[in-house]
């Protein structure tokens, strides 16, 4: 009897352990499937959001590309030693709001150094990238001061001395220390913000908690 009872007890333990193991595997499988479903959902949300951003960027490029592209030839060598103060020339006068040093606006641009090397540009592969949102204090002082009096829709060439650009620090190999710069800037209305889906925001926040 004792032997039979022991065997029954062992079988019960084995069954419980087997069921528990199967249950654990099932939970793992369910968890993995849920994770895959969630990741697929996040991937789709990311793709849909990026598609909207890309569509807006393309629409804006179609609207403004020809205007800015016509001034690519402005990027040419210039005498660095002659640049002693900030100066500007309006290439096209806009018809929108007048900018001040406290204005926030969007811009397309072409920037080059004294050798004529374009170190940064909104033009890429025959189209415009998304416009740069310009805010007070968010750009070099030569931009902040140089756009004062410019109107939205206008295009202006700025000649910026080193102390109002990147100064004694410089910025990468194309902007050595104490280098004056030139820019063609096109000020445009800031496009509507495309909201990030709430579920996507929650996902991003959870990744950094």
- Give the sign of the dihedral formed by CA 172, CA 176, CA 178, CA 182: negative
The whole-number average pLDDT for the span 4-24 is 55
Class of domain 1-192: alpha beta
Q: What is the pLDDT of residues 153-200, one digit of tens each?
A: 999 999 999 999 999 999 999 999 999 999 999 999 999 999 988 888
Instruction: Report percent pLDDT > 70 for the chain.
Output: 83
204 is known as an active-site residue: no
Choose the catalytic residue: 109, 110, 123, 152: 109
- pLDDT band for 114, please (50, 70, 90 cuts): very high
pTM of the model: 0.79
- What was the pLDDT predicted at 12? 54
pLDDT: which is higher, 20 or 187? 187
pLDDT: which is higher, 28 or 144? 144
- pLDDT band for 40, please (50, 70, 90 cuts): confident
* Two tokens, residue 204: 């991003």
Residues in Cβ contact with 80 at an 8 Å cutoff, skipping those fewer than 6 apart: 114, 179, 180
Choose the catalytic residue: 140, 152, 160, 175: 140
Task: Flag the least confident range among 35-44, 60-69, 170-179.
Answer: 35-44
- What was the pLDDT predicted at 4? 61
- What was the pLDDT predicted at 204? 78
Map tokens 């540009």 to a residue: 121
Choose the catalytic residue: 67, 97, 120, 163: 120
78 is known as an active-site residue: no
Choose the catalytic residue: 64, 105, 108, 166: 166
- What was the pLDDT predicted at 208? 73
119 is known as an active-site residue: yes
pLDDT higher than threshold 70 for residue 29: no
208 is known as an active-site residue: no
Q: What is the pLDDT of residues 117-144, one digit of tens each?
A: 999 999 999 999 999 999 988 999 999 9
Choose the catalytic residue: 49, 71, 78, 119: 119
- What was the pLDDT predicted at 205? 80
Q: Under a CB-based contact definition with an 8 Å cutoff, are residues 107 and 187 in contact?
A: yes
Q: Under a CB-based contact definition with an 8 Å cutoff, are residues 99 and 149 in contact?
A: yes
Q: Which of 82, 63, 142, 199 is nearest to 55 (CA)?
A: 63
């Amino acid at each position: 009897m004792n032997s039979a009872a022991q065997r029954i007890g062992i079988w019960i333990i084995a069954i419980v352990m087997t069921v528990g193991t199967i249950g654990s595997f099932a939970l793992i499988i369910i968890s993995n499937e849920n994770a895959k479903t969630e990741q697929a959902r996040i991937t789709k949300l990311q793709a849909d959001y990026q598609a909207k951003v890309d569509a807006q960027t393309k629409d804006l490029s179609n609207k403004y590309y020809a205007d800015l592209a016509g001034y690519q030839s402005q990027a040419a060598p210039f005498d660095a030693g002659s640049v002693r103060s900030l100066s500007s020339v309006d290439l096209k006068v806009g018809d929108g709001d007048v900018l001040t040093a406290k204005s926030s606006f969007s811009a397309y641009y072409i920037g080059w150094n004294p050798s004529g090397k374009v170190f940064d540009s909104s033009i890429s592969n025959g189209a415009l990238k998304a416009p740069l949102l310009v805010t007070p204090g968010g750009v070099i002082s030569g931009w902040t001061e140089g756009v004062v009096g410019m109107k939205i829709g206008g295009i202006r060439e700025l000649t910026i001395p080193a102390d109002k650009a990147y100064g004694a620090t410089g910025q990468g190999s194309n902007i050595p220390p104490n280098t004056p710069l030139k820019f063609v800037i096109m000020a445009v209305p800031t496009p509507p913000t495309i909201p990030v889906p709430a579920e996507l925001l929650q996902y991003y926040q959870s990744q950094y908690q």
